[in-house]
Amino acid sequence: MHLDLATLSLLGALQALLLAPLLLVATRAYAGVARTSLRIWGVVLLLQALGWVLASLRGQVSDWFSIVLANGVLIASFAETTRALRLLLGVPQRRALLAAIGLAIWLGVGWFGLVQPDYRMRVYVAALMVACYSALLFWPLRHALRPGGSVAQRVMMLVILSAAVAWGLRLHELFTGPAPPGLLVATPGNLVNVIYGAIEPVFASIAFLLMYNETAQADLRRLARTDPLTGTLNRLALDEEARRLFDQGGGAPGLAVLMLDADHFKAINDRHGHAGGDRVLASLARGIGARLRPGDVFGRVGGEEFVVLLPRTNLAAAIALAEDLRAHVAALPLQLDGQAQTITVSIGVALREAADADADTLIRRADRTLYEAKRAGRNRVAAPPRTA
């Protein structure tokens, strides 16, 4: 059966052209990085469609259009593919590097397409481009190969590896035999490349959307556990972390809890409004977070109250950290409405005891100790008696 490669190229262009508007319209429902990455991917599909249409006209229009312009558009689509995926992965986009690679490859293709026509060299230059862009994608995707890694990212790696295999077959054909006069001549290597190019927009788009869905789900989980004002854990997340740490066992040393409350916070709200109070709470959270140790868990339980969970901490270490936090907060340089503002905190300390039934029991005891600090005059740390 004879397969017309120009027709296959047009079919690939049609698929990309149909997918592009769907993704571009879908971006209206998103914002931020998600919207930007989806829009870039929509543009990628449009560029691929245009590139394959121009390539399919080889021999019917000027080589400037079917070789130089067609390859330039496809090179731009490769660069934008890499940028969209790196953006979605949360790594630097390297736009200058992507543009430099694309320009160098395009000039090489143009030289061996018009000035010194050489199909074999054009393929080698294009293969170099694929290798460069693939490397810039594989490096941030490598974490997916670890146990429990992202399934969506593994699917994208499979798409990229498939492209590498297709290009490998094409290069092997050039190394081992005479060079065909062009891409649309139906040699085995060309056939594999054109077929893959026709179906690649669909599979790559599926992998991209799977990656986007994983990212969106992770963002939703993070937002569900984050206090929007301070950026710390919210009460739900704190409860989950407290149960997790409690269930791991007290050990020696065990689990300590600090309950912190901003002193006279109502007066700050009354004088500077809720916006001023919110700025104070955000600054307070940053100040506290800066003094904690790796592994400590910090969050806001509501209003002006915060909780710090201290795993593997004895009572003496918990009290020392509480005193450090109290002094650090009192020295924070705060400005509200152009005026210096001082804020202090009262802190209650509790240490897990054998009689504690669950994490809630421990946190409630820390809360009772906090109110002892309040009754004693505020701006102080209250703790249970130390055992000998």
| Residue type at 236 in one-letter notation | L
Burial (Cβ within 10 Å: 0-12, 13-18, ≥19) of residue 163: buried
pLDDT at 252: 45
Token pair of 164 as six digits: 């590498």
Sign of CA dihedral 222, 223, 227, 228: positive
pLDDT at 179: 64
What single-letter DSSP state applies at residue 187? Answer: -
pLDDT at 76: 93
Q: What are phi and psi of 272, to 5 degrees?
A: -115, 0
Spatial distance between the Cα atoms of 177 and 337, rounded to a whole number of angstroms: 78
pLDDT at 317: 92
pLDDT, averaged in runs of 10, over the chain (388 residues)? 59 72 67 76 84 80 85 91 89 92 93 88 89 90 87 90 86 77 66 75 82 80 86 91 82 79 88 87 91 92 92 92 93 82 91 87 92 92 72
pLDDT at 388: 43
- Closest by Cα among 295, 298, 261 to 281: 261
With DSSP H G I counted as helix, E B as strand and the rest as coil, what are the percentages for the chain, rounded to 5? 65, 10, 20
State the catalytic residue, choosing from 80, 241, 304, 305.
304
Token pair of 25 as six digits: 């319209």
Q: What are phi and psi of 304, to 5 degrees?
A: -105, 20
Spatial distance between the Cα atoms of 239 and 221, rounded to a whole number of angstroms: 15
Q: Taking the model in full, what pTM does it have?
A: 0.67
Residue 305 annotated in active site: no
Q: Is 39 helix (H, G, I), strand (E, B) or coil?
A: helix
pLDDT at 184: 59
What domains can be seen in the chain, in order of their start residue?
Answer: 5-224 (1.20.1070), 235-382 (3.30.70.270)
Let me know: does 86 contact 135? Beta carbons within 8 Å.
no
